[in-house]
Amino acid sequence: MSLFYRNLIANSFILILFLSASGVFIHHIYQKDTEDFLSKQLKDNLYALLASAKENEQGNIKMPRQLPNPELNRPGSQILASVIMKKAKEQSPYRWFSLSYKNQSSLINKQKQNLFYDDKNTAGDYIFNNHPENFKQLSLNISWENYQQIEQQYTFRILISRNDIDNKLDNFEQKLKFWLGTTGVILYVIQLLLLYWGLYPLKQASLEIEKIQTGEITELDTNYPKEISLLTININKLINYSNGQLKRYRNSLGDLSHSLKTPLAVIQGYLDNNNSTHSSNEQREIQEQINNINNKIQYHLQRASIASDKPLLVKTNIFPLIQKTLNALNKVYFDKDIQVKYEQTQKNVYCHLDEADALELIGNLLDNAFKYALSSVQISIQAESDNSTHLIINLCNDTDTVKEIPVKQILERGKRLDEHTEGQGIGLYLVADIVRSYQGELDISNEDKQVCIKVKLPGNIYL
Amino acid sequence: MRLLLVEDDIQLNQQLLTQLTKSGYAVDVAFDGEEGLYLGKEIDFDIAIIDLGLPKMDGSTLIKQLRNPDISNKQYPILILTARDRWQDKVEGLDAGADDYLVKPFHVEELKARLNALLRRSSGHSTPEIQFMDFKLNSSTKEIYVKEKLIELTAYEFKLIEYLVMHAGKVISKSVLIEHIYDQDFDRDSNVMEVFIRRIRNKLDPDKTINPIRTHRGSGYSFNLKPIKA
């Protein structure tokens, strides 16, 4: 799973968790505040009720007909009040209900205990509870000492309907959900943008690595955030080190080849200039040794410099290499007047081949084709795809010099295609080595005076 | 033919100098790229042999500089010598402007054949045998036939007529002929050239019927016959 989706899922999870927790928390605080406000309302009304209580001549509490809070005087109101005296011996207890109870007798029927003094509570305790008919109720037991200094117990009750606060809570919940949802969507979009912005340097680095592979650039940009700049700097170092090492290695091999072959050229010159001083046997022997040394140097040094399929190899567009080699060979074999037929099915084919190896492969193949061709060379390049993509190079030339030579022998080290044609005879063997090191296939056919070589390089073809 | 040889190995350089001089080339030698560039720019050579692995300036850079129109714009054919077998080096050299390559070690005869082919090609001839009516010159065997009869010529005589044939139709001054046939220390004021021309005319055209060499008063000489095939 990509880093983008990993981050997106993790951040979305945190966002949902945060918004849900925030919603629950905010709702809880608002609900508590509302409940506190309702409780305060109940207390205020209870105090007003207590302040309104008078004493009659018998020393009992007597509530006035009209209370200061007009809601308590209005029948059917959402605020109700009652005062209930504790029953004492044969005395009928005092029961008072506010005018707002009028037409709401069902409220009393639903909770019959409200008709009586609340024995369970201690005097002075504020008892809040919920009434079944969606009222919140506050009860307070008081001990009233009348002017005869006789204590009498009363339960003062205030009920306020929860309908208003429930509606308020519902409204708040709806608005809270809406705004949290909207905030969630906005935060999600912002998070997407931030993620894109945050991961952009990684994406940029990845695109640059692709460009390095196509050869558009040679190293990564150094202007990256410090968190990944260390990585990009090290990738650059690794690329430079890898390329530099291969280049140094090849240069050293080239220098070695130069150091060994120049004295050989001197010996060869000496032999050519002094052929009269040596017997023909001696001359043949020396020549043979020169050829052996030369072949060994050429074969071993060239073989050692094959890069093979290394992971840091860049993609190489082989068409310019073919064109470059054709231009070179047209100069070299100018006098043969070879007709070249060149077909390419795609505009560009990039393959995961080291450029020097690709040039070595193409150079040796084309050089052989030009060398042995009578009049024409045909080249076709195609990229095919079945289970995986692969590059196919088909090379044919007309000839009359190669006759019934088994393929195995042609690919054998040191085997020359024609003893009368100049050449070291190891070019095709090197081609076979390169093809083998890239896990490719090489096929040679020789029919109707036409030699065809087919090279198949598997995988990593980019069109 | 005046030839530039740029090879850093002293022994190989001397060996090639000896062999190429024997073959009739007027050879100037250089042992590094900078010296090679100096000579290559200053002297109008007919052909050059340049080793790719040179000190001070590598062979490819030297060829590029010689071919560069802003630096020297030299168009004479260049043969590269290389000890590096990799195609990258060969293609790089040919891409830089060389016309052919030869991998070390090589036979001197092969080198001479390549030089001949390049000289022929640069003068617009595709085969070693160049024919002008009754006149035939073989650049490989160094032989000249007039009316199917082999003409005996000295090495210098052949070099002179070969140069004129390779530049057929063009007027070649006496000083240019001397420069391309003789070594640098040859006395340019001598009248050897007139003697040579006269002798060659007598050998090639004793009956005065084909008139192969035409004198342009105050300008020089030109090969006067029309080619049969290029």
What ipTM was predicted for this assembly?
A: 0.74
Mutate to test the interface with B, among A252, A258, A271 (most CBs of B within 10 A): A258
Which stretches does DSSP call E strand in chain B? 2-6, 26-30, 47-51, 78-82, 100-103, 129-132, 135-138, 143-146, 149-151, 213-216, 220-223
For residue B87 the two structure tokens come to 């195609």
* 3-class DSSP state of B48: strand
Residues B86, A356: C-beta atoms closer than 8 Å: yes
The residue of chain B with its CA nearest to that of A326 is B91
Which stretches does DSSP call E strand in A89-125? 95-97
- Given CB atoms, is A334 within the 8 Å cutoff of chain B? yes
Report the C-alpha dihedral over residues B183, B184, B185, B186, rounded to 10 degrees.
60
% of chain A at pLDDT higher than 70: 88
Residues B118 and A434: their CA atoms lie apart, in Å, by 33
Superfamily for domain range A316-461: Histidine kinase-like ATPase, C-terminal domain (3.30.565.10)
Report the C-alpha dihedral over residues B86, B88, B93, B99, rounded to 10 degrees.
80
- Of A273-277, A443-447, B192-196, the poorest mean pLDDT is in A273-277
For residue A426 the two structure tokens come to 């190891």
Residue A390 to residues A440, A455, A463: CA-CA distances in angstroms? Answer: 9, 10, 11
Residues of chain B found within 8 Å of residue A268, distances taken between Cβ atoms: 105-107
What is the reported pLDDT for A307? 65
Is B46 in contact with B99 (CB distance < 8 Å)?
A: no
How does residue A462 score in pLDDT terms, banded at 50, 70 and 90?
Answer: low
Residues A328, B109: C-beta atoms closer than 8 Å: no
Residues A273, B108: C-beta atoms closer than 8 Å: yes
- Given CB atoms, is A327 within the 8 Å cutoff of chain B? yes
Residues A239 and A221: their CA atoms lie apart, in Å, by 13
Per the rule left: phi > 0, alpha: psi between -120 and 50, beta: everything else, A13 is alpha
- Given CB atoms, is A50 within the 8 Å cutoff of chain B? no
Helix (H) or strand (E) holding A355: helix A355-372
In tens, the pLDDT along A369-403 reads 888 888 888 888 777 766 567 788 888 888 776 55
What is the CA angle A353-A355-A361, rounded to 5?
75
Residue B152 has φ and ψ, to the nearest 5°, of -80, 120
Q: What is the pTM of this model?
A: 0.62
Considering only residues A12 and B180, tell me which one the structure prediction assigns the higher pLDDT: A12
**Shortest Cα distance, chain B CAs vs residue A218, angstroms:** 19
Enumerate residues 6+ apart whose C-beta is below 8 A from B173: B219, B220
The strand pair at B100-103 and B78-82 is best described as parallel
A181 has a pLDDT exceeding 90: yes
Considering only residues A461 and B72, tell me which one the structure prediction assigns the higher pLDDT: B72
Residues 80-119 (B) with a CB less than 8 A from some CB of A: 81, 83-91, 94-95, 98-101, 103-110, 117
In tens, the pLDDT along A249-273 reads 777 787 788 788 888 888 888 888 7
Partner-chain residue, chosen from A257, A325, A331, that has the shortest CB–CB distance to B83: A257
What is the reported pLDDT for A311? 53
Considering only residues A105 and B197, tell me which one the structure prediction assigns the higher pLDDT: B197
Q: At what angle do helices B108-122 and B155-166 cross, to 10 degrees?
A: 40
**DSSP annotation of B138:** E
Is B89 in contact with B82 (CB distance < 8 Å)?
A: yes
**Shortest Cα distance, chain B CAs vs residue A249, angstroms:** 13
Residues B168 and B162: their CA atoms lie apart, in Å, by 9
Backbone Cα Rg of chain A: 51
A24 has a pLDDT exceeding 90: yes
- Given CB atoms, is A298 within the 8 Å cutoff of chain B? yes
Question: What is the average pLDDT across A58-84?
Answer: 86
For residue B35 the two structure tokens come to 């010296």
Partner-chain residue, chosen from A264, A272, A359, that has the shortest CB–CB distance to B91: A359
Is B82 in contact with B110 (CB distance < 8 Å)?
A: no
Residues A360, B87: C-beta atoms closer than 8 Å: yes
- Given CB atoms, is A225 within the 8 Å cutoff of chain B? no
Residues of chain B found within 8 Å of residue A262, distances taken between Cβ atoms: 9, 12, 83, 104
pLDDT along chain B (230 residues), means of 10: 91 90 88 92 90 89 90 88 83 89 87 88 76 80 84 83 84 82 65 81 81 84 72
% of chain A at pLDDT higher than 90: 16
Handedness of CA B104, B107, B108, B113 (dihedral sign): negative
Question: Which segment, A14-18, A232-236, A400-404, is predicted with the most confidence on average?
Answer: A14-18
